[in-house]
């Protein structure tokens, strides 16, 4: 049992090492110019180790998205559930989301994610329908609409879509402007207008 635990721990550390090094290289050289061989060399691992954890360098971003969604589920859901009103839950979620992105992920990661996601050769991770992010937002809009907080002339799916597009808009602008403004400070105006527009 101890051997399995050590092996599992080592595998997780290797996976994190590969992910961190790959993101660093993507930022330095751009995603399209980095090869799997370069990632292996940077991490002093092997092709076997790389392909044990990832099918391709693109899958490294799937891992990052899972990490982000895990943060939403494990950290933010309980915090926003303390708010009685669903509009307030949405505001708390968006504020904490922007704080996490700015302080923990950073401009390098967001810029690189958008570079990769704009590649038309693959389906975007942004559009994976069963992401926890979408479940969290749908819960807010469906329940908020049921109790009369949100307008009833828009389907919850449409409100979620508007929210997601607003979210991507501010992040893309932040990436484009090389993080020359604070997401934490600036998000309130944009999301505030969006939330007021959805309330009854």
Q: Strand, coil or helix: what is 7? A: helix
Whole-number pLDDT of residue 154: 96
Q: Strand, coil or helix: what is 187? A: helix
Per-residue pLDDT of the chain (200 residues; tens, 9 = 90+): 445 577 777 878 888 889 888 888 887 877 778 899 999 999 898 899 899 988 888 888 777 778 888 999 999 999 999 999 999 999 999 999 999 999 988 898 888 888 878 777 777 777 777 889 999 999 999 999 999 999 999 999 999 999 999 999 999 999 999 999 999 998 889 999 999 999 99
Strands annotated E in the chain: none
Q: Is-above-0.85 flag for pTM?
A: no
| Strand partners for 150 | 199
Q: Strand, coil or helix: what is 29? A: helix
Whole-number pLDDT of residue 77: 93
Q: Output DSSP code: residue 200.
A: -
């Amino acid at each position: 049992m101890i051997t399995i635990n050590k092996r599992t721990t080592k595998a997780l550390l290797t996976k994190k090492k590969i992910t961190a090094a790959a993101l660093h290289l993507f930022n330095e050289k751009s995603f399209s110019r980095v090869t799997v061989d370069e990632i292996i060399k940077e991490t002093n691992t092997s092709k076997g180790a790389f392909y044990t954890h990832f099918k391709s360098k693109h899958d490294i971003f799937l891992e990052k998205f899972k990490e982000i969604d895990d943060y939403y589920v494990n950290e933010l859901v309980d915090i926003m559930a303390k708010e009685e009103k669903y509009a307030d839950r949405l505001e708390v979620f968006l504020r904490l989301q922007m704080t996490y992105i700015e302080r923990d992920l950073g401009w390098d990661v967001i810029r690189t994610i958008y570079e990769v996601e704009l590649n038309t050769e693959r389906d975007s991770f942004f559009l994976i329908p069963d992401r926890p992010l979408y479940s969290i937002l749908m819960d807010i809009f469906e329940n908020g609409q049921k109790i009369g907080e949100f307008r009833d002339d828009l389907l919850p799916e449409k409100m979620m879509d508007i929210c997601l597009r607003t979210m991507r808009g501010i992040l893309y602008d932040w990436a484009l402007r090389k993080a020359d403004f604070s997401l934490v400070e600036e998000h309130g105006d944009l999301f505030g207008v969006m939330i007021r527009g959805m309330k009854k």
